[in-house]
Amino acid sequence: MKRELEMLQQANPVLSDEAEAWITTSRALGSYERLMDAIELGATVLEPETVIAPRPRASWRVALAAALVVVTVVAVPLWLFGGSRGHEVSPGLPDGAIALDPTHPAMRLLAEGAADYETFSAAASEQGLKFSCAAGGESPESPAWELCLVADNGVLAVVPFNAVEGLTAKVSDAHLTRDIVVPIDTNRPFGVLDTGPQATVTIEYFGKEVVGDMSAPWAPAQDGST
């Protein structure tokens, strides 16, 4: 402890007699032992083999693998099930409905001036389209409605005429994951993808009273999917 005494004298100049008397006490010996234990513990913690190795950064291969997982989970199901097949899907459209392409036969007839029920159904018949038209209801309890359905390349066009407020058309089919309900009180045509030969359309008044129904025509998509 002589060396320690010399260090204490340099750091804290006190009378040597007092310091020498203090280091012989039990309190000083206990402090010395605790100091040595702390130094040894610190040296052990800092030994190279006990230091936790830093986590290696992910390589570009890990990043590539993560990207492939995202593509597999998101893109592949869209490819397998067809997605919207390039058709417009807008938040302003009814859930499950699509905007009709101008090249769809139903839109072509409307553009050519077949803007009423009789003219449209006659033109669709003359051109040999896959279509069905129906009308019904004449009382306030069962309001009048006129509706034509035209199928082409896997897209069913729902074309209403002169409908009153509150009328909707519900398209049901085993190929669909859910029924698709479109309003027919705006005279705006909508499209429905991937209906099958057993598709039906139910005309409802304010979603409660059924005022009519009709079978939908069917024309599969040109790529063979349903």
Using DSSP, state whether 196 is helix, strand or coil.
Answer: coil
CATH number (domain holding residue 176): 2.60.40
The overall average pLDDT reported for the chain is 76
3-state secondary structure 44-95: HHCCHHHCCCCCCCCCHHHHHHHHHHHHHHHHHHHHHHCCCCCCCCCCCCCC
Q: Using pLDDT thresholds of 50, 70 and 90, give the confidence band for residue 51.
A: very low
Instruction: Examine residue 57 and state whether it is found in any structural domain, yes or no.
Output: no
Instruction: Examine residue 203 and state whether it is found in any structural domain, yes or no.
Output: yes
37 or 6: which leads in pLDDT: 37
- Of 86, 112, 195, the closest CA to residue 150 belongs to 195
Which DSSP helix (H) or strand (E) runs through 2? helix 2-11
Instruction: Examine residue 162 and state whether it is found in any structural domain, yes or no.
Output: yes
d(CA 146, CA 168): 11
Same domain, 106 and 31: no
Instruction: Examine residue 133 and state whether it is found in any structural domain, yes or no.
Output: yes
122 or 25: which leads in pLDDT: 122
Which DSSP helix (H) or strand (E) runs through 198? none
Average pLDDT over residues 42-63: 51
CA 157 distance to own-chain centroid: 26
Look at residue 199 and tell me whether its pLDDT is greater than 80: yes
Same domain, 103 and 177: yes
d(CA 22, CA 64): 69
Q: Using pLDDT thresholds of 50, 70 and 90, give the confidence band for residue 207.
A: confident
Instruction: Examine residue 222 and state whether it is found in any structural domain, yes or no.
Output: no
Same domain, 108 and 186: yes
Instruction: Please answer whether residues 1 and 24 qualify as being in contact, where contact means their C-beta atoms are separated by less than 8 angstroms.
Output: no
Look at residue 164 and tell me whether its pLDDT is greater than 60: yes
Same domain, 198 and 106: yes
Domain count, the chain: 2
Look at residue 143 and tell me whether its pLDDT is greater than 60: yes
Tens of pLDDT, residue by residue over 10-30, are 655 555 566 566 566 766 666
Phi, psi of 221, deg, nearest 5 = -65, 150
Instruction: Examine residue 80 and state whether it is found in any structural domain, yes or no.
Output: no
Instruction: Examine residue 192 and state whether it is found in any structural domain, yes or no.
Output: yes
81 or 47: which leads in pLDDT: 47
Same domain, 209 and 138: yes
The per-residue pLDDT for 106 is: 98
- Of 173, 169, 151, the closest CA to residue 161 belongs to 169
Instruction: Examine residue 68 and state whether it is found in any structural domain, yes or no.
Output: no
Q: Out of 11-15, 38-42, 87-91, 186-190, which region has the weakest mean confidence (pLDDT)?
A: 87-91
Same domain, 123 and 184: yes
The per-residue pLDDT for 74 is: 39
Its domain, for residue 10, covers: 2-50
Q: Above pLDDT 70, what percent of the chain?
A: 58
pTM metric for this prediction: 0.60
